Copies of this chain bind each other. A is one copy, B any other.
Amino acid sequence: MLDYPALQALAEIIRRGSFEAAAHALAITPSAISQRIRNLEDRSGAVLIDRGPPVQGTEAGLRLAAHLDQVRLLESTLAGSYRPSQPPVIRIAMNADSLATWAMTPLTAAPGLIDLVIDDQDHALDWLRNGRVVAALTSDSRPVTGCDSIPLGRMRYRATATPEFAARHFPDGADAESLSRAPVLNFNSKDSLQDRWIREMTGRRIAQPLQRIPSSQAFAEATRLGLGWGMNPEAMIAEDLATGRLIDLAPDRPLDVPLYWQIARISAAAIEPLTQAMKNAARISLLS
């Protein structure tokens, strides 16, 4: 059996970012907490904490801390007096656009303390696979061993720009020639929405001058400020389209991105209220 008090020390250090804060949270001395970690490292034969700065978990340390969270989550489903007084930590990965538009509210249904990770669209499935998160809201439909994947619906994106930007850069409409010169907004290097839309529009692939804005709200704001054109979630810029602050470069060419709620099967029962809330919110906010 693992040394659970030592795992608790490990998890607190990772969550609070220092040995000292963890010792304080657990009401033990700093030397006692260091000792617990050293013992755990000796027994597991791996460094579990990168002493920094900043202090953070190693791959092996994060895995063990996540295991503790899962055990606590399972404990929370026990009936009666076995029920722990401390609420479990529920670590979830979510794509930024969902968080910015519809998926914050259902999080309140989580039966525990939320630890949210913003999915940069590349790691969510790895995190699920190695147990670092118990569920992920992602556009990635690939099946993960030991996980259930629930399709939630489609999020609609629209190619948008200010009327001034469009008049200057797309006087004859958005075509291959004008798109190759107009500054485009990009969330991060994994964001392929603009490229996908261009391919659907023109049948071609076009290299464009990129500007990177890695925040959903700032991305929409940058569009409104005329820094570039970009694919914005419809829910985020519906009012701008209605008032004419932004225009849709091709109203008959939205881009729909399917979203999935992927859950580690071992935690599915424990987070069932959250899953229900996600499904209900998706039913209202996403296209079926």
Partner-B contacts on A (CB < 8 A): 14-17, 21, 24-27, 53-54, 56, 86-87, 96, 99-100, 104-105, 107-108, 113-118, 122, 183, 189-190, 205, 207, 209-215, 217-218, 221-222, 225-227
Contacts and interface: CB of A to CB of B under 8 A. Distances in A.
A21 B107 CA distance: 37
A221 B15 CA distance: 22
Contacts of A14: 189
A214 B183 CA distance: 28
Nearest to A189: B17
A205 B116 CA distance: 24
25 contacts: A16-B207, A17-B189, A17-B190, A21-B207, A24-B207, A26-B207, A53-B122, A54-B190, A99-B215, A100-B217, A100-B218, A104-B218, A104-B221, A107-B225, A108-B225, A108-B227, A113-B183, A113-B210, A113-B211, A114-B222, A115-B210, A115-B211, A115-B212, A215-B215, A217-B217
A222 B113 contact: no
A209 B32 CA distance: 22
Contacts of A26: 207
A99 B113 CA distance: 27
Q: How many subunits of this chain does the assembly comprise?
A: 2
Determine which residue in A183, A189, A214, A221 has the highest number of CB atoms from chain B within 10 A of its CB, and name it: A189
Contacts of A25: 207
A104 B222 CA distance: 7
A21 to B, nearest CB: 7
A217 B99 CA distance: 9
A100 B113 CA distance: 25
Nearest to A21: B207
Contact of A210 (B15, B118, B218): B15
Contacts of A21: 207
A113 B225 CA distance: 14
A21 B195 CA distance: 10
A117 B10 CA distance: 30
Contact of A218 (B16, B116, B189, B190): B116
A17 to B, nearest CB: 4
A266 to B, nearest CB: 22
Contacts of A212: 15, 114-116
A214 B117 contact: yes
Contacts of A205: 24
Contact of A114 (B15, B108, B115, B227): B227
A189 B86 CA distance: 20
